[in-house]
Structure 1
Amino acid sequence: MENELKLKFEPNTIEHLGVKMYSHIPPAIAELVANSYDACAKLVHVKLYNNPQKRIVIEDNGIGMSFNEINNNFLRIGRNRRKENQINNCNRNPTGKKGLGKLALFGLGNTVEISTAQDHVEVSFTMNYDQILNSDGEYKPTFEIRETEKASGTTITLKELKHKSTFSLSSYSSSLARLFNFRADDFELLISLDDKETIKIDNKLKYENITPEFEWSKEDILKISNEPYEYKGSIRGSIITTEKPIKPELRGVTLFANGRMINSPEFFGKAESSHFYSYTTGWLDVDFVDDWPEDVISTNRQSIDWENEKSLALKKFLHNILTAIEKDWRNKRSEKKEKKVQENTGINIVNWKKTLPVYISTQVDTIISKMNDSELSSSDQESLLNAVHNIAPEYPLLHWRHLHSEIKSAARIDYERQDYYRAFIEAVKRYINKVREKSGSTNQTDGGMMGTEFGHQKILQVAAAFNKPNGNKFHADTYKCIEEGQKYLSMGIVSGARNPISHEEIGDLRDSGLFSEKDCLDMLSLLSHLFKRLEDAPNP
């Protein structure tokens, strides 16, 4: 009988944890870059080659590995360097802890050549994916040890690549930039193609083709939400919204811990029906997640286990943050759009709305709010605002009366001051003066002049110039009634203006409601009618 238990692994473990999990090139390269960062490298250079031989080379100037470290650390699958308290001499928090990242090598190429130096001793070895699959659970790569002028550093070359498509430098550089958020000042990551163009990968590259419209910094993010959260003060980052919709793959907020992505862009449970999400991107550093006792980060670092108690608390907080930012975004965007439209149309919306009755202002507010929250172009918004303004301009009740221009001109200033009785008086004065001017009357009594100049067979005949459509005259009584009506209406409106003002204060007339805004408008409409009739009268 056997006296010990044995755990054996099947070679296809490499296939499932390496090839399947790291089937895309940028995430696989990211694992190797992270290893270099953990090895205190100050410079990592990712070299892509389409010609003459398709391959990927990752070079770093880190501390390298000794033969024993290769054997005990690098070639041990699933080693947790954090639990083993493996330390480095550059005070960087390790970004890896599952010990599976090295399997990314086989997600990229069939043959892996590794050359690593430490203290001027270089160990080179080659691993072959097919040979590993055909092994019996124990694989022994061939190696070579030699002295070298190189003090330290590691070079990994991936050959017989599984991906046959041509490398795109711009695409890969942007993808890698979105997978890292290293804050170390002494770390630089470069990527090049065929030893020609070289691109530096940094945080700026994440949003190279994104023009921020609004941005919320760490301070803004923490200030915008009053929700309590135990790690609130440890969150850093930036959330950006753009003026135009961004590409779907860039939408959402990415989470990083110790410089590496731990959750791909998302909105943390918020319903994404609002077009706010088409304009939003950003990143947050949540390093504390890496320190939780339970590992909640998926092996491929694409997502967090949101069912964990601590994760749920984080998700709730982030959900509330985005809710607050969405509200702030709508306000900022509305103000900006409104300002731009005002500049182009010349309409001061604030001042305009002050001249509107409350029930009209409320409706205009609704239209403008919907307009600012819409996807209409600036020119369409301007056209819409102009249309609304034309329908309901400043002091719309005065506008909608379609008053005679003389009456409107005489009353406007006092009407806009809400001095409605004085507006009426000024309009009456204008009418009186025009009657005296046209008739040539010397009657000094305004009301009396209306009786002597208007009426049947008097000087100002307001209906005399009109005939039936067939050219025949109207009945004599028709002319008489219209002329008498002009006389008595004119006498009455002059009396209604003059007599009260002789005995009462204008303020009392207005504030008592005896002469309201509507009364003013009704009188101005009547004056407009009388003024039009006056103009119809032939000159004496």
Structure 2
Amino acid sequence: MSLELKFDPRTIEHLGVKMYSTLPPALAELISNAYDADSPGVAVEFIELNKTPKSIVIKDEGDGMSLSDIQNKFLVIGRNRRNDDGDKPSNKFKRMPTGKKGLGKLALFGLANEIIVDTAKDGLRNRFKLNWADLLSSDSVYSPIIEIQDQQTPRTNGTTIKLSDLKRKSPFDLNSLADSLSKIFSVDPSFSITLKKGTDIVRVDGERRYKDIDQQFQWTEKDLVKEDSPYHGKISLKFVTAKTPIPPSAGLRGITIYSRGKLVNAPEYFSESTSSHFFQYLTGSINADFIDLLNEDVISTNRQSINWDQPDMADFREYLGELISETARDWRNKRAKKKEEEINTATGINTEHWMSTLPTDVKGPVQSILAHMTKNEDISESLNPIVNALYNIVPEYPLLHWRHLHLSIKDGVYDLYKNSQYGFAADQATKMYAARIREIAKIDEDGTRLADVFNLPNNKPPTIAINDLSTSSLKNMQEGQSHLTRGLMQGFRNPINHAPMDRVVPEIISELDCLNILSLVSYLVGKLDYAEEKLKEKADS
């Protein structure tokens, strides 16, 4: 029996050489063939002589091919295996086929001028050779050279393809190839990909694509795909954001779509606007096997893009845009929270609590300053004193702080004030003032009668003097202390203490009222310091 490959040579040249002129996508097609052949893995060996590429050997342990398979399947360009063999799981690993268009075999001619296929199936071995120059010079029908035909063999099923007289002239870089292949295939634990050159061996897996990414946050379908979504249970995903912007040269910015374990759409954002710096940090993948089940073939021949004009895919793209937007919002929240935690650790300041104590008109500018200072990825130690200085200028409950109250008053009302009990805080301050008057004057009075201790009766010394009364101005201040004290008690203390607090306090005493009263009380209490000092001097003498 002779073998024949029927074709238009221009088809081979355009679809083979031009579409698979670079190594990673061409190898990916040969690796996919091993996957579809139900092999547990594939080994690709690169052979060089003096750093010059000589050959590539691709070996699998899959189903192998009979002579009939070679003629009616492998050598038929454009054969749709799913139509011919059915779109069903493989026998051993229950894999759904990735091949569909029957063009992947043309990758052979994109890499080499001479190809030898050696395959065994059910105890019979076949080997044949393809030559690129002979193929191009033939007229629509090309007969590969059969070297072994239906030879009995103890070999187990599998296929080995050797590519010689390579078109590539530069040395092979295993790690670079492994990185590229890791972006083409998603993870399948039942299938291993091994690259070998000399004594160097590199294994390819889906996680490899993120090896150079310093990951910060991650999302899966459990985080983003809602139960009422039409795509719930139909897709799985992994979105990752890096701590620092992903270099454009990495080829990882954006989300890659896979179907049946293989790339069908190169990384992108599914958004009309990509100006946000969020997109510099985003990478990830979506597994959407349902794409292969659509009646219409929406996957491009080179498996780099999807036909997004197709109605089902247009809906899917819109949904993906929403997922990306939701991820961006969550990323900003997570990132801000992370920055807060870093500041908290570095400075000992609870930023969240600090912000919660600031009035709205103060909080906005402070947050803006912090955001500007912490816009870099890492919180620098040199930033700590700056944040602490800002905290000292704008501390928790700044309106209370900025009043510069007498320390005894500030400490005495602090808990009430921070719990928004403004009426009680102001009342507590007046009680503290009254108690101090009684303590200094040694009296048992309350209310407006407390003001009498500051009176100047017939030029006699007052019970409590707030200065030395040596001038008329100082005497006026002494009388003012009496009047202000009487006004405080008459205009605030008495109404508050003789009315239901649950009605008067919320309706009458606002935060501003409270602060104003505290300032007045603080002023009056400060004047008592003079009297206490004099009493202490008298006691010491």
- TM-score, normalised by the number of residues in structure 2: 0.82
Letter of the aligned partner of 1:96 in structure 2? Answer: G
Between 1:454-463 and 1:269-278, the stretch displaced more is 454-463
Corresponding residue for 2:64? 64
State whether structure 2 residue 182 is matched by structure 1 residue 188: no
Matches within 5 A, 1:317-396: 317-361=319-363, 374-375=375-376, 377-379=378-380, 386=388, 388-396=390-398
Letter of the aligned partner of 1:175 in structure 2? Answer: S
Letter of the aligned partner of 1:197 in structure 2? Answer: D
Between 1:232-241 and 1:345-354, the stretch displaced more is 345-354
Aligned residues of 1:412 and 1:423 also touching (Cα < 8 A):
no
Corresponding residue for 2:144? 141
Matches within 5 A, 1:5-44: 10-44=8-42
Please list the CA deviations of residues 167-214 of structure 1 after superposition, one character each: whole Å capped at 9, or x if unmatched: 22222112112211253x5322212222x2323322322323334433
Matches within 5 A, 1:247-326: 247-248=247-248, 249-326=251-328
Aligned residues of 2:226 and 2:232 also touching (Cα < 8 A):
no
SS at match of 2:184: coil
Shift of 1:122: 2.3
Corresponding residue for 1:400? 402
Shift of 1:20: 1.1
Letter of the aligned partner of 1:13 in structure 2? Answer: T
Corresponding residue for 1:525? 519
Shift of 1:428: 2.3
Tell me, which stretches of 5 or more residues in structure 2 are unaligned? 1-5
Shift of 1:429: 4.1
Corresponding residue for 1:210? 213
Cα distance change on mapping 1:514 and 1:182 into 2, 3 Å: closer
Distance 1:141 1:40 in 2: 26
Cα distance change on mapping 1:495 and 1:123 into 2, 3 Å: same
Corresponding residue for 2:80? 80
Distance 1:263 1:453 in 2: 96
Shift of 1:302: 0.6
Aligned residues of 1:251 and 1:279 also touching (Cα < 8 A):
yes
Between 1:451-460 and 1:142-151, the stretch displaced more is 451-460
Matches within 5 A, 1:83-98: 83-85=83-85, 89-90=91-92, 91-98=94-101
Aligned residues of 2:78 and 2:103 also touching (Cα < 8 A):
yes
Corresponding residue for 1:493? 484
Aligned residues of 2:184 and 2:263 also touching (Cα < 8 A):
yes
Please list the CA deviations of residues 39-95 of structure 1 after superposition, one character each: whole Å capped at 9, or x if unmatched: 121221011233466222111111211223222221222111112226754443221
SS at match of 1:50: strand
Letter of the aligned partner of 1:12 in structure 2? Answer: R
Shift of 1:27: 0.9
Aligned residues of 1:455 and 1:461 also touching (Cα < 8 A):
no
Distance 1:77 1:357 in 2: 73
Corresponding residue for 1:505? 498
Match of 2:128 among 125, 129, 148: 125
Between 1:510-519 and 1:11-20, the stretch displaced more is 510-519
Aligned residues of 1:451 and 1:491 also touching (Cα < 8 A):
yes
Cα distance change on mapping 1:409 and 1:94 into 2, 3 Å: closer
Between 1:335-344 and 1:17-26, the stretch displaced more is 335-344
Matches within 5 A, 1:457-476: 462=467
Distance 1:121 1:190 in 2: 26
Cα distance change on mapping 1:123 and 1:384 into 2, 3 Å: farther
Letter of the aligned partner of 1:511 in structure 2? Answer: V
Cα distance change on mapping 1:152 and 1:489 into 2, 3 Å: same
Aligned residues of 2:115 and 2:162 also touching (Cα < 8 A):
yes
SS at match of 2:455: helix
Shift of 1:364: 5.2
Aligned residues of 2:427 and 2:493 also touching (Cα < 8 A):
no
Aligned residues of 1:252 and 1:282 also touching (Cα < 8 A):
yes
Between 1:171-180 and 1:115-124, the stretch displaced more is 115-124
Distance 2:408 2:515 in 1: 14
Corresponding residue for 1:237? 237
Please list the CA deviations of residues 223-268 of structure 1 after superposition, one character each: whole Å capped at 9, or x if unmatched: 28x5x43x54321232222333233311221111122111111112
Cα distance change on mapping 1:208 and 1:450 into 2, 3 Å: same
Aligned residues of 1:59 and 1:153 also touching (Cα < 8 A):
yes
Between 1:525-534 and 1:119-128, the stretch displaced more is 525-534
Aligned residues of 1:31 and 1:101 also touching (Cα < 8 A):
yes
Shift of 1:292: 1.7
Match of 2:172 among 150, 164, 167: 167
Shift of 1:300: 0.8
Cα distance change on mapping 1:509 and 1:323 into 2, 3 Å: closer
Cα distance change on mapping 1:221 and 1:527 into 2, 3 Å: closer
Tell me, which stretches of 5 or more residues in structure 1 are unaligned? 1-7, 465-478
Between 1:495-504 and 1:418-427, the stretch displaced more is 495-504
Aligned residues of 1:463 and 1:482 also touching (Cα < 8 A):
no
Alignment RMSD? 3.5
Q: How many equivalent pairs are there?
A: 508
Shift of 1:166: 2.2
Cα distance change on mapping 1:48 and 1:384 into 2, 3 Å: farther
Distance 1:267 1:455 in 2: 87
Corresponding residue for 1:4? none
Identical aligned pairs, as a percentage? 38
Between 1:416-425 and 1:97-106, the stretch displaced more is 416-425
Distance 1:284 1:169 in 2: 26
Shift of 1:284: 1.6
SS at match of 2:160: strand
Match of 2:474 among 480, 483, 503: 483
Distance 1:512 1:267 in 2: 52
Aligned residues of 1:427 and 1:524 also touching (Cα < 8 A):
no
Letter of the aligned partner of 1:405 in structure 2? Answer: L
Aligned residues of 1:57 and 1:157 also touching (Cα < 8 A):
yes
Corresponding residue for 2:425? 420
Cα distance change on mapping 1:512 and 1:410 into 2, 3 Å: closer
Shift of 1:401: 1.5
Letter of the aligned partner of 2:471 in structure 1? Answer: K
SS at match of 1:347: coil
Please list the CA deviations of residues 382-402 of structure 1 after superposition, one character each: whole Å capped at 9, or x if unmatched: 667545533332221111112
Aligned residues of 1:454 and 1:487 also touching (Cα < 8 A):
no
